[in-house]
Amino acid sequence: MSKRPLLHVSPKRGWINDPNGFSYAFGKFYLFAQHNPYDTKWGPMHWIQFESTDLVVFNEKGIALQPSEKYDHEFGCFSGSALTFNHKHILLYTGVADEKQTQCLAISTDGKKYIKSKLNPVISENDLPNDHLIKDFRDPFVFKKEDVYYVLISARKENNGSSILMYKTLDFKTFTYVGVSLSITGEQEMIECPAVFFDNDKTVLIYSHQFKVPENKYEYQNVHSTMYVVGNFDYETGAFKSESSAREIDNGFDFYAPQTLTAKGKHYLVAWQNMWDRDYPSRTEGYAGNLTLVRELSLKHNRLYQKFVPNLSNYYTKTQIINDAEYEVFSVPVDKKYAHRYRLEFNRVNEAILYFTNDEKVSIVINATAKTLTFNRPDIQNTDGSSTKVRTIKLEENDDKLSLDIVFDKSAMDVLINNGKYSFSMLFYTNASPCLTIKSLTNEKFKIKNLTYNQIAPKEVAKK
Ligand code: FRU
């Protein structure tokens, strides 16, 4: 049986990585992704297009951008963002050719056909501060503040480290360099794929950090991590003045290059649900790569909270609710044809193990004393041979209660913990059937305050 997720965006065939151009235009949501149509591995980059009206079901619409010009013919059209300007849908992307990464535009009047601008590249080496390198200058993220459009772009420094640079434009013809927003040092390290959203008077800056060195055994366990920092830009100098230290957005095995969208007063995030340099078992089904579910973002006390979009409930085909119960072992029977949502609320952190597949290979172990959650999955190898099978995250001292909101979708699982204060995204490949079985790990029964189970059938409901 196919392990292709039902709800998570994946290409019909070929490879995808980063989400791109997440935007609202012509009355619908647009989401693109880095795509190689010719193979199930990374190759010349195209933008594949998906559309949605509810941020749950996305329909594949074909290829929006492909390598074609002297500035993008070689490695293609790298990551970027989108917005509507003067009733036109504008894609900003990085063209890669001849050891140069330059910023380019593609414009559409109908959201179907995208035409590359004659002005391309609109930001190139002449606009780059001279201690940064044109060979690694990419991932433009555009946003509007007052009447000015700002673009954040990642750039590697000549000596050790990298920056996010700020540019501005009023007309998408002339772009002016503003300054350095953020910088890091570190030999191989590069911060890429910037994104932002604004919550009242706060700005949340999101980026992906290649080769982030782990600071402890619970965080930054991926080779590459994703981070957010809260503060504000100084729009005169470009500098980001942070009010808090950077935090990891998602502690899971598979999460990278998230992109944000603010539409109709809500903030959303979607990420690539994978990681570089892994074996990608879905290749046997003719594709590699999927995106996370879209999540709604909010900020409380400078902390990012994530939740699944409410429209998910439009696709429920079954619901089961249990309140205030005690168990030694508890099981919800589920049908393998569907996706499943499990919402669990515990009054305290119980010692328990949750199995999600009947071969017991996909599980979460809750350790009440250490206040940790340990995620297990069948092994997926890195190309360097290292294993990515077990990972533990630690709750904070003030996390007395535990709530889990889990969408289990064939081979993809998004776990939001304690109202989305923590998140954990992962893929897994096993031939076993899905289930939810919870076992106490002590002599005591575990107490469930509330368990809500939903069966989700996007295609069936969409057909009705
Ligand atoms: C991040 C990234 C981007 C780049 C794209 C290329 O995953 O390396 O920096 O634009 O992938 O596909």
Determine if ligand 1 sits within 6 Å of the CB of residue 72: no
Determine if ligand 1 sits within 6 Å of the CB of residue 79: yes
d(CA 405, CA 425): 12
- Determine the CATH number of domain 14-308: 2.115.10.20
- What contacts 136, CB < 8 A, 6 or more positions away? 101, 154, 155, 156, 162, 190
Strand, helix or coil for residue 313: helix
d(CA 41, CA 96): 18
Which atom number of ligand 1 is nearest to the Cα of residue 208? 1
User: Is the four-CA dihedral 385, 388, 389, 391 of positive or negative sign?
Assistant: positive
Determine if ligand 1 sits within 6 Å of the CB of residue 34: yes
pLDDT of residue 216: 83
Nearest to 56 by CA among 270, 231, 264: 270
pLDDT of residue 463: 65
d(CA 395, CA 402): 9
Look up residue 174 and give its two tokens. 């002339």
Element of type H or E holding 31: strand 28-36
Residue whose structure tokens are 């930054």: 220
Burial class (CB in 10 A: 0-12, 13-18, 19+), 428: buried
Residues of the chain with pLDDT under 50: none
Residue whose structure tokens are 């795509």: 35
- The predicted model scores a pTM of 0.97
408 touches 434 (CB < 8 A): yes
d(CA 77, CA 229): 28
pLDDT of residue 460: 75
**Most informative mutation of 18, 103, 259, 276 for ligand 1 (most atoms within 8 A of CB):** 18
Determine if ligand 1 sits within 6 Å of the CB of residue 17: yes
Determine if ligand 1 sits within 6 Å of the CB of residue 78: yes
- What contacts 188, CB < 8 A, 6 or more positions away? 210, 211
Name the DSSP class of 218.
Answer: S
Nearest to 14 by CA among 360, 337, 290, 389: 290
User: Is the four-CA dihedral 173, 174, 179, 183 of positive or negative sign?
Assistant: positive
Residue whose structure tokens are 């790298």: 78
What's the CATH class of domain 312-462? mainly beta
Angle, CA of 425, 428 and 432, to the nearest 5°: 135
Q: In what order do the strands lie in the sheet with 76-85?
A: 76-85, 88-97, 100-108, 115-116
Q: How far is the CA of 172 from the centre of ligand 1 (A)?
A: 23
> Domain map of the chain by residue range?
14-308, 312-462
Structure confidence by residue, pLDDT tens digits, 164-196: 999 999 999 999 999 999 999 988 889 999 999
Q: How far is the CA of 115 from the centre of ligand 1 (A)?
A: 22
Output phi, psi for 366, to 5 deg: -100, 120
Q: How far is the CA of 74 from the centre of ligand 1 (A)?
A: 15
Distance of alpha carbon 26 from its chain centroid, rounded? 24
* 409 carries an active-site annotation: no
Identity of the amino acid at 134 = I
The region that residue 442 occupies, defined by phi over 0 for left and psi between -120 and 50 for alpha, beta otherwise, is: beta
What CA–CA distances, in Å, run from 220 to 216, 248, 325, 333, 420? 8, 7, 36, 35, 18
Determine if ligand 1 sits within 6 Å of the CB of residue 193: yes
- What contacts 171, CB < 8 A, 6 or more positions away? none
Nearest to 329 by CA among 354, 348, 357: 354
148 touches 168 (CB < 8 A): yes
Structure confidence by residue, pLDDT tens digits, 205-254: 999 999 888 888 888 888 899 999 999 999 999 999 999 999 999 999 99
d(CA 308, CA 292): 10
41 touches 99 (CB < 8 A): no
d(CA 193, CA 81): 10
Q: How far is the CA of 272 from the centre of ligand 1 (A)?
A: 11
pLDDT of residue 1: 85
286 touches 10 (CB < 8 A): no
pLDDT of residue 464: 57
